[in-house]
Amino acid sequence: MPHALPLSSRWLAACGLALALCPAGALAEQTLATVSSPGQVLSVDVRLADDGRLSYQVRRKGKPVIAPSRLGFLLTNAPQLDAGFSLARQSVADHDSTWEQPWGERRHVRDHHRELRLELVQKERGDRRLAIVFRVFDDGVGFRYEFPEQAQLGEAKISDELTEFTVAQPATAWWIPAGELMALEYPIEKTPLSEVGTANTPLTVRTEDGTHIAFHEAALVDYASMWLRKAQGQRLRAQLAPSATGAPVERKGAFTTPWRTMQIADSAAGLYMSDLVLNLNEPNKLGDVSWVKPSKFIGVWWEMHLGRSTWGSGAKHGATTQNTKRHIDFAAKHGFRGVLVEGWNLGWDGNWAGGGADFSFTRSYPDFDLPGLAAYARGKGVRLIGHHETGGNIARYERQMDAAYQLYARLGVDSIKSGYVTDGGGAVFAGPGKRTHFGYTDSQEGVRHFQKAVTEAARHKLAIDTHEPVKDTGLRRTWPNWLSREGARGMEFNAWGNPINGVDHEAKLVFTRMLSGPMDYTPGILSLQGVDGKPIHSTQAKQLANFVVIYSPVAMAADLIETYEKHAGPFQFIKDVPTDWDDTRVINGEIGEYATIARKGRNSADWYVGAVTDGSARALDLPLSFLEAGKRYTAEIYRDGDQADYRTERRHDLVIEKRAVTSADTLKLKLAPGGGQAIRLTPAGG
Amino acid sequence: MPHALPLSSRWLAACGLALALCPAGALAEQTLATVSSPGQVLSVDVRLADDGRLSYQVRRKGKPVIAPSRLGFLLTNAPQLDAGFSLARQSVADHDSTWEQPWGERRHVRDHHRELRLELVQKERGDRRLAIVFRVFDDGVGFRYEFPEQAQLGEAKISDELTEFTVAQPATAWWIPAGELMALEYPIEKTPLSEVGTANTPLTVRTEDGTHIAFHEAALVDYASMWLRKAQGQRLRAQLAPSATGAPVERKGAFTTPWRTMQIADSAAGLYMSDLVLNLNEPNKLGDVSWVKPSKFIGVWWEMHLGRSTWGSGAKHGATTQNTKRHIDFAAKHGFRGVLVEGWNLGWDGNWAGGGADFSFTRSYPDFDLPGLAAYARGKGVRLIGHHETGGNIARYERQMDAAYQLYARLGVDSIKSGYVTDGGGAVFAGPGKRTHFGYTDSQEGVRHFQKAVTEAARHKLAIDTHEPVKDTGLRRTWPNWLSREGARGMEFNAWGNPINGVDHEAKLVFTRMLSGPMDYTPGILSLQGVDGKPIHSTQAKQLANFVVIYSPVAMAADLIETYEKHAGPFQFIKDVPTDWDDTRVINGEIGEYATIARKGRNSADWYVGAVTDGSARALDLPLSFLEAGKRYTAEIYRDGDQADYRTERRHDLVIEKRAVTSADTLKLKLAPGGGQAIRLTPAGG
């Protein structure tokens, strides 16, 4: 193939066409900027090659973490935005502030970073402009692109985002596939990084020297979700979820992309402790959100997964007035704010996941008295939790959404669990005109829908818990009514999954999925059984620990209420544990092996600790230095019995004991194989 | 997430949503059909699961080669075509015929296969129909989908082809990336199969037990090119090259997909010997193609890659009347039919690869007398070879194509080398209206363009040699004026590449790229040097061997003519070697290590042998049993000198000798590191 460039640039002629055709350093490059985090932990270099291609790299304490990696875009409607750049202007700014979350894993969040802003221009493309902004924290880096208003590019139709992430040291990865049907519910895989296919994010990586990196994005708004696709070796590149109707992303005028984020730490715990993603999101737009209630709930739910009742109508219909009243009574008695009822509305008969064609979001089955039950619940200090399963038919849902929201708001149903189960064919979107089409929920139009469902809900003071969602990118900061999501393999797989969840599932989740935000994991299956009595890979203590280890502001005690009635001992922990926190400390952990987390209840002096392990028994140290010094506490300990083991009947062995402790103590947590431990620490005498 | 299916199908409820969520065998399945190749070497099972999902698997001599792998499609304009199938009809048919190629690696090609045809219907989707056809050969399997004319699906907008290829045994893969800029020109990578990212095809795999598989496609027409993307483990899935304007594939009415092909053999040689891809293509549509001339050519080309002259105008312009005459004279003197001249036409000044905006395909630079030179050449029994470099601007090229073809046809320029170099931004396509957009040449519209360039050329009795092409899928059978393509890293990278081609490049090419069709590799750089005298990884003998080992009906003796004048000895082989064959035998070979190929000249009693090795010296046996028994032959041997080595100055050491041989002899070929051997065998006395 002939050369495009002057012969005096022979290197360029070979390399200029694609950075990856050349070994690193083959191109003459200049460093545009180097910026370090406030504590000099992380540093980012941005370089410009002779052909005007940009790359960035990241170091931690001087050691390469991200090797030179590409930046840029291919467009369908204009020449490429990936080369021929020169620097027009750069600026650096420091930022240090603390903001308060209305709910969350901690109350106060510090945002301390250094920001580098690069304004670039493509002189040979009519001075077309693009900006790239890096924010460098001690515990991570985020960058985004900013497209300004300009005549040279009135609309951007992005076919490929060329952003790459090249991990510098040999590494292991924990990932789930993307671009597969119901991909988020695949088991989390652990493979060498070089064996990643196409992955969703967070994608967590650990290098041979113990550096941990989590790749993700923040503030995913009106853009396609970013998957990560292995290119060559340990080089991942962005893959924008495809659109059914055009380029993956189409935007007019000025806009910014989501932040591409890398949390970087020298331990798994350090990874979790970062607030990078929240800090890169816009502040709360809703103002007073006192109507958003972190709380616990039970539900008419597990019985259907066990096959004892049905979502659809008939003799075994679960969502009946009588069954719901029974649950409301139980909730009231035991202090649960919410009762979720699935299968209440018309449309569950037939093949609903094949496009959800029959769902009504306003009309219930005849045996479910929605207004009556809503009032009955209110009278007992309990709220029904709404349920909108769409079967993936977003077009249909959006047509009914306003009426459905109004109905719930009127009845005092102030939170909704939504669902987007498809039987494999993709979600149904509307447009143009009266037509519909099938596409990915991760697409730009899918992202728009999820956003709209939340902002519209806010107008009615409704909170949303999205199942089968797009990934969480921290938008709960901006829209604090976006309470929780599923977005990974949850407890229901322990009912009927093939396979059921692995014994190391939680220890993987903490350092992968949980880095993105809360998960409605629905823990607390104290029966330790799924369908036909098949045992789940857990002990009792681990089921309790999950309430602390897997964060969600709305947490479901998921088992049958009759099971809880038979397990008053452990059930007490479930009743006590809060879902909103002043502070969170990850005490220890290794991805896929174990994790111990301590959290302080919001507006409380109580601390709660949860520890979980995989198939290996463990003895973990728990220094209580997070307690207030000089104060005496009572530790209510729920631990595995000495013979407990997830593989045997002894999985049910639970010891409940109390101890007096102070902040000077270190507890030794003995976890059984597949086990855990849950502890409530309350000031003695109060 | 709730279940979509009756509770009596609990397994289905878990697995039915995605085959990969379940371990193999978890779904109840029935075998729809089993079909074996005529010689009982390969067998294919097609299975239907309870939820109506299809899978296929392939065995060789009873042993699994392809584990159960998925079939089906996701559409944007209709519900998915991947589940809910039942079998409407099946039929099996045997086929055994022999057909003749007007030119090729062998004259006669046997097509011996068993065909299984499955007609499927989706009862719950209004009886929508789809057919899948398998053709099973002893050396490979091909299958394709057939969409019938039906009211239930008047148009298919395919977002995803769900076809998968799951290699059953641990394997190594040789691959080049796809979906990257200029991806076909990346060095061929060798990695464990599980480390493939997104690859183009052919993708060649060797399992631990020595089974070789080459994945590719046949008859790629009006459809997007199929890339292969690693999903999980050793499971690859089809990835259709994206479209800039909609779904990757959009087809109305009845159509068939390209054949998805798997050549399977127990040796690398066996892989090469298969004619699977040609056999799956439609027969010759052009009839008499005696105007298509397999031949050799020289050109005004290497001098530009060396930097001694320019494509663009000016004092060092390569494409001048005088320089071209000099080449015509040389070609006439030495029996080369063609002279390629690049840089003859307006448009090479400036950044031509940034969209080829200035190219004219009808107007030459003032210092190039096209009509005069065309006539001068004709007068000497030589033809100019046309050159159409588009810079990726397909829209512009198509506007001028008819005039450009007419011009060449009128002047007796009867073959054209075309090019589609982009500087990274994608090709430029026309439409709708006056607009243009950027996209992949591997897209459906790119495939349409390449097809049109060839069929339009045929109307003018012009042959085409496409550089930066879509992959070759055997369409030269149907359109025998589609002479050759580049489509991999060629000799030019040895001029200026960084890196230059590896010493094992040819031994990799033979068993990967060369499985798809001829390559205009432009061998014969007898100087063994690139820019500034930088040595290439080769000996003299290997440069000669390449003319036999790397098949192309049009082969360029690529070096400067002054170099050939200084190397009369080896140049003789280049002058003698034909480019059209009666028969081809792969004597031995291992991917990326070595290869020995013997070919019989068409309409000739001569045989030619080429052998190449990687960085290791080798002693290879060459049994001459392919020669006619009882006849005496003279072997003209061009071999590495005893001290030859690609790493030293001794790379130039060449020994030319003659020996008398018969079919009973076995020659021992001693190849130097980075070396080769070229042999001409002619009947003694004539």
Residue A602 has pLDDT above 60, yes or no: yes
- For the segment B380-390, the average pLDDT, to the nearest whole number, is 98
- Lowest-pLDDT choice from A410-424, A456-470, B424-438, B625-639: B424-438
Provide the number of CB pairs (under 8 Å) joining chain A to chain B: 240
| Interchain CB contact of B312 with A (< 8 Å) | no
For B232, the closest of A22, A160, A189 (CB atoms) is: A189
- Output the six-digit token pair for B612: 């190449």
The confidence band for A610, taking pLDDT boundaries of 50, 70 and 90, is: very high
Describe the crossing of helices B370-379 and B321-334 by its angle, rounded to 10 degrees. 20
Pick the residue of B232, B388, B534 with the most A CBs within 10 A to test the interface with A by mutation: B232
Rounded Cα gap, residues B275 and A165, in angstroms = 41
pLDDT, average across residues B121-150: 96
Query: What is the tens place of the pLDDT at every residue in A35-48?
Result: 999 999 999 999 99
The least confident of A206-220, A526-540, B18-32, B244-258 is B18-32
Return the HEC string of A146-193. EECCCHHHCEEEEEEECCEEEECCCEEEEECECCCCCHHHCCCEEEEH
Q: Is the pLDDT at A580 greater than 90, yes or no? A: yes
The minimal CB distance from A498 to the residues B14, B311, B531 is found for B14
Whether the CB-CB separation of A639 and A669 falls below 8 Å is answered with yes
Q: What is the mean pLDDT of residues A370-386?
A: 98
Give the pLDDT score at B183: 66
A172 touches chain B (CB under 8 A): no
Torsion of CA A426, A430, A431, A435, to 10 degrees: 80
> Quick one: pLDDT at residue A185?
74
Of B74, B159, B424, the CB nearest to A80: B424
Q: What is the pLDDT of residues A340-360, one digit of tens each?
A: 999 999 999 987 876 767 899
On the CB side of A2, CA atoms within 13 Å amount to: 32
Q: What are B63-111's pLDDT values in tens digits? A: 999 999 999 999 999 999 999 999 999 999 999 999 999 999 999 999 9
Q: Scanning every residue of chain A, which has its alpha carbon at the shortest distance from the alpha carbon of B17? A: A423
The tens digit of pLDDT for each residue in B338-355 reads 999 999 999 999 878 767
> How many angstroms separate the CA of residue B635 from the nearest CA in chain A?
36
- Does the pLDDT at position B21 exceed 80? no
Of the listed ranges A473-482, A495-504, B470-479, the one predicted with least confidence:
A495-504
What is residue A21's predicted lDDT score, i.e. its pLDDT?
45
A464 - beta bridge partners? A416, A482
Identify the band that residue B18 occupies on the pLDDT scale cut at 50, 70 and 90.
very low
What is the separation, in whole angstroms, between the first and last Cα of chain B?
80
Is residue B344 within 8 Å of B327, Cβ to Cβ? Answer: no
Residues of A in contact with B23 (CB under 8 A): 498-499
Q: Which of B262, B284, B282 is nearest to B274 (CA)?
A: B262
pLDDT for residue B19: 38
Q: Average pLDDT for residues A588-613, to the nearest whole number?
A: 97
pLDDT band at B27 (very low <50, low <70, confident <90, very high): low
Residues 14-33 of A with CB under 8 A from B: 14-18, 20-23, 26
Does position A7 have pLDDT exceeding 50, yes or no?
no
Answer whether residue B232 shows pLDDT above 70.
Answer: yes
* Pairing, β B338-341 against β B383-389: parallel
Query: Residue B12's pLDDT band (boundaries 50, 70, 90)?
Result: very low
Select from A188, A423, A440, A486 the residue whose CB has the most chain B CBs within 10 Å, as the one to mutate to test that interface: A423
* Per-residue model confidence as pLDDT tens digits over A57-80: 999 999 999 999 999 999 999 999
- For chain A, the average pLDDT equals 94
Please provide the average confidence, as pLDDT, over all residues in chain B: 94
Are the beta carbons of B20 and A186 separated by less than 8 Å? Answer: yes
Tell me what pLDDT residue B498 has. Answer: 82
Confidence of residue B13 (pLDDT cuts 50, 70, 90): very low
Q: What pLDDT, on the 0 to 100 scale, is given for residue A621?
A: 96
Is the pLDDT score of B3 beyond 90? no
ipTM of the complex: 0.90
- Contact yes or no for B244 and A247 at CB 8 A: yes
Q: Is A302 helix (H, G, I), strand (E, B) or coil?
A: helix
Q: Which of A18, A177, A498 sits opposite B11 (nearest CB)?
A: A498
Distances (CA, A) of B387 to B347, B390, B413, B426, B544: 13, 9, 10, 21, 25
Q: For the beta carbon of residue B490, count every other beta carbon within 10 angstroms.
A: 24
CB contact under 8 A, A244 and B159: yes
Residues 236-275 on A with a CB inside 8 Å of B are 242, 244-247
Distance between CA atoms of residues B208 and B169, nearest Å: 7
Mean pLDDT, residues B317-344:
98
What digits encode the pLDDT tens for the residues B670-685? 999 999 999 999 999 7
Which residues neighbour A646 within 8 Å (Cβ) at sequence distance 6 or greater? A503, A535, A537, A538, A539, A542, A615, A672, A673, A674, A675
Q: Kindly list the structural domains of chain A, giving each domain's residue range(s) and its CATH number in brackets, ordered by start.
A: 7-279 (2.70.98.10), 282-487 (3.20.20.70), 520-686 (3.20.20.70)
Tell me: pLDDT of A373 over 50.
yes
Q: For residue A124, what pLDDT is reported? A: 86
pLDDT at A8: 30
CA dihedral sign, ordered B625, B631, B632, B635:
negative
Q: Please report which confidence band the pLDDT of residue A181 belongs to, taking 50, 70 and 90 as the band edges.
A: low
Q: What pLDDT is stored for residue A357 in this prediction?
A: 78
Closest chain B residue by Cα to residue A18: B181
- Cis peptide upstream of residue B499 (ω within 30 degrees of 0): yes
pLDDT digits (tens, 9 = 90+) for B588-621: 999 999 999 999 999 999 999 999 999 999 999 9
The closest CB to that of A10, out of B229, B419, B531, belongs to: B531
**Spatial strand order in the sheet of B581-590:** B581-590, B594-601, B607-613, B676-683, B633-640, B654-661
CA distance A395 to chain B (A): 14
**Are the CB atoms for B299 and B556 separated by under 8 Å?**
yes
- Chain B positions touching A307 (Cβ under 8 A) are 7, 10
Length of chain A: 686
* Residues in A touching B18 (Cβ below 8 Å): 180-182, 424
With contact defined as beta carbons under 8 Å apart, do B246 and B219 qualify?
A: no
Selected for mutation to probe chain B from A167, A180, A349 (highest B CB count within 10 Å) is A180
Element at B199 (helix H, strand E): strand B198-199
Taking Cα atoms as reference points, which of B582, B594, B440 lies closest to residue B510? Answer: B594
Q: Is A159 on the interface with B (CB under 8 A)?
A: yes
Measured between CA atoms, the residue of chain B closest to residue A438 is B76
> pTM for this structure?
0.93
pLDDT at B397 over 80: yes
Cβ distance A231 to B198 less than 8 Å, yes or no, reads: yes
Comparing A126-140, A286-300, B496-510, the range with the smallest average pLDDT is B496-510
Residue A409 — pLDDT band, cuts 50, 70, 90? very high
Determine, for residues A244 and B247 on separate chains, whether the beta-carbon distance falls below 8 Å. yes
User: Is the torsion defined by CA of A576, A577, A582, A586 positive or negative?
Assistant: positive
**B565 to chain A nearest CA, in Å?**
25
Q: Is B381 on the interface with A (CB under 8 A)?
A: no
Residue A192: the pLDDT is 97
Percent of chain A at pLDDT exceeding 70? 95
Q: How do residues A10-27 score in pLDDT, each as one tens digit?
A: 333 334 343 334 443 456
Q: Over the stretch B502-522, which tens digit does the pLDDT of each residue have?
A: 999 999 999 999 999 999 999
Question: What distance in Å separates residue B509's CA from the closest CA in chain A?
Answer: 18
Check residues A355 and B326 and name the one with the higher pLDDT.
Answer: B326
Mean pLDDT, residues A179-183? 70
pLDDT at B159 over 50: yes
Identify the pLDDT of residue A27. 64
Active site residues of A: 492
Q: At A499, is the pLDDT very low, low, confident or very high (cuts 50, 70, 90)?
A: confident
CA-based nearest residue in chain B for residue A236: B197
CA B339 to CA B342: how far, in whole Å?
10
Distance CA B48, CA B60 (A): 21
- The DSSP bridge pattern shows strands B427-430 and B436-439 to be antiparallel
- Specify the higher pLDDT residue, A147 or A124: A147
Residue B125 pLDDT = 87
Q: pLDDT tier at A184 (50, 70, 90 boundaries)?
A: low
Q: Is B76 on the interface with A (CB under 8 A)?
A: yes
Given pLDDT bands bounded at 50, 70 and 90, which one contains residue B5? very low
